[in-house]
Amino acid sequence: MFLQAKPVIAADSVKIVINKKVNKLAYIKNGAVVKVFPVATGKTSGLTPEGNFKVVRKLVNPYYNKKKIPGGSSRNPLGVRWLGFDACGTSGGTYGIHGTNSPKSIGKYVSGGCIRMLNKDVIWLYDNTPLKTPVEIINKDWDLEQKPVNIQVNGTLLSVDDQSRPYMERNRVLVPCRLVAESMGCTVDWDPVNQLAVISRGGNMMSMEVNSGEINVNGRAVQTEVKPVLKNGKLFVWVRNLAETFGYNIAWKYSTYTVMLTNGG
């Protein structure tokens, strides 16, 4: 018999993201990554379900039904904590984030579908995760160690998916070109053969080629510190190139990791 823990913080301020591609779990609070932990996931790609779920059950020293191993035993593969989530219509007893008695398995693809953590890590997660906390499981090219960057244009925070997430490289912010440029009122033309983008608005025009250190601004060659790149099939560009070409002021809000662009006229 195990007691279910009471929430310790508001669920609506917390989110858990698990990326199977890198076997990491991010604890996100108020939109910022607080901690990132290594995990183990399913031994085959389909075992650990992907999607959006919620924590619906919490147990201390969970009992291992399959082999009838009591909670707290060193033989128990579930470790010291269980946070069950409602994947595939289950009620929190089938899929869970839990500890392990095999720390060497962390970082590997070895589980039957659950997410394994080191016992010390799952204790922290348990203590800081209330019931109803959202759990998102993905399998994408996104290293959770890096804080997600937000982009705001003229006071509006742009909505991005994981494929379009702005990111930092050498303290420079790269943003999805089409999304941001069109939010600035620009037109974007893409030449897939030459991997060349032409962005224009009013009398200003900028063209840039993937992986080139030189861009063209109103017919003039300009060196750029950050080369345009293709990532997840999308063109990412240094946000300052867009801002300076089309007359936008740029500011950085460190507390929320947000780049703010405002039309300078």
**102: amino acid identity, one letter:** S
**Domain map of the chain by residue range?**
11-138, 150-263
For the chain, the helix, strand and coil percentages under 3-state DSSP, each to the nearest 5 = 15, 40, 45
Decide if pLDDT at 22 tops 80: yes
Mean pLDDT, range 174-198, rounded to an integer: 96
Higher pLDDT, 28 or 32: 28
Is residue 97 within a helix (H) or strand (E), and if so which, with residue range? strand 95-98
Supply angle C-alpha 23, 24, 28, rounded to 5: 155
What confidence category does residue 4 fall into, taking pLDDT thresholds of 50, 70 and 90?
A: very low
Query: Quick one: pLDDT at residue 143?
Result: 72
Q: Nearest 10 degrees: CA dihedral of 104, 105, 107, 112?
A: -170
Name the CATH superfamily for 11-138: L,D-transpeptidase catalytic domain-like (2.40.440.10)
Q: Which residues are catalytic?
A: 98, 114
Query: Quick one: pLDDT at residue 257?
Result: 84
Phi and psi torsions of 69, nearest 5°: -100, 125
DSSP strand pairing (24-29 vs 14-19): antiparallel
**5: amino acid identity, one letter:** A
Beta strands in 65-212 (DSSP E): 81-85, 95-98, 109-111, 115-116, 134-138, 150-153, 156-157, 167-169, 172-176, 187-191, 196-201, 204-209
Fold assignment, 150-263: Copper Amine Oxidase; Chain A, domain 1 (3.30.457)
